Structure formats: structure tokens, C-alpha cells
Amino acid sequence: MRDPSLRERWDAWMVQAERFARRENYIDALGRTRLVLSEIDAALAEADDDKERTELTRYRAYVERRMKTIREQFDAWNAKIAARRAQSIAQADEEMKRPLPYGPDERL
């Protein structure tokens, strides 16, 4: 089995990030994209050829756009959770006034 090139590895990591985001595992998705960005930055520091630098810069911009999209999805997901939590807290007084349901041994 041959070693994958840097680009193939980054592409595989980006697919993993997409799949993490699809399953609402945004923390891992963002972590994976940050890993790709750090690898690209290291490759950019070592790049000598202008064509290679241009390709790396273009790929970095793609990764940043995907990261921004995932972050927006993450923020929207967090906002939904915060809204549900706020609604539960707001309804706590009303819920506390309701009688507790009977247990299986307490039925009349």
C-alpha cells in the first residue's frame, strides 16, 4: 500500500469533517478542519514553487470556507438548544404546580 500524498490525506480529513458535521458532531468537524489548516500552513512554509504556493493558498481558502459554514451550523444548533433550555426554565414554575404522577404501587 502506498503512502497517500498530503492532498489526498487532507481530502480524506475534509470528508471526515463533512461526515462529522452531518451527524451534528461539530466539535470534531471543526477540529478536523483546524488540523487540515495547520498542515496546509506547514506546507506553505516549506513551499518553494509559486505554483505550489498558489494551489496551497487556494485549498486553504476552500478549507476556511467549509470551516466557516460548519461554524455557522454549529452556532445555529447551539442557539436551538439554548432556546429549548430557556423555554424549559420559563415553564418550570408551571410544571412544579402540577401534581406528580402516581407510581405503579400508588394507584387507587
Predicted TM-score of the model (pTM): 0.76
Say which residue, 69 or 104, is predicted with more confidence: 69
Mean pLDDT confidence for 77-94: 90
Tell me: the pLDDT tens digits for 7-58? 999 999 999 999 999 999 999 999 999 999 999 999 999 988 999 999 999 9
**What is the model's pLDDT at position 29?**
97
The second-level CATH assignment, the architecture, of 6-95 is Up-down Bundle (1.20)
Tell me: the pLDDT tens digits for 60-83? 999 999 999 999 999 999 999 999
3-state class of 30 per DSSP? helix
18, 67 Cβ separation under 8 angstroms: no
Residue among 102, 77, 92 nearest 24 (CA): 77
**What is the model's pLDDT at position 3?**
61
For residue 47, the 8-state DSSP code is: -
What are the domain boundaries of the chain?
A: 6-95
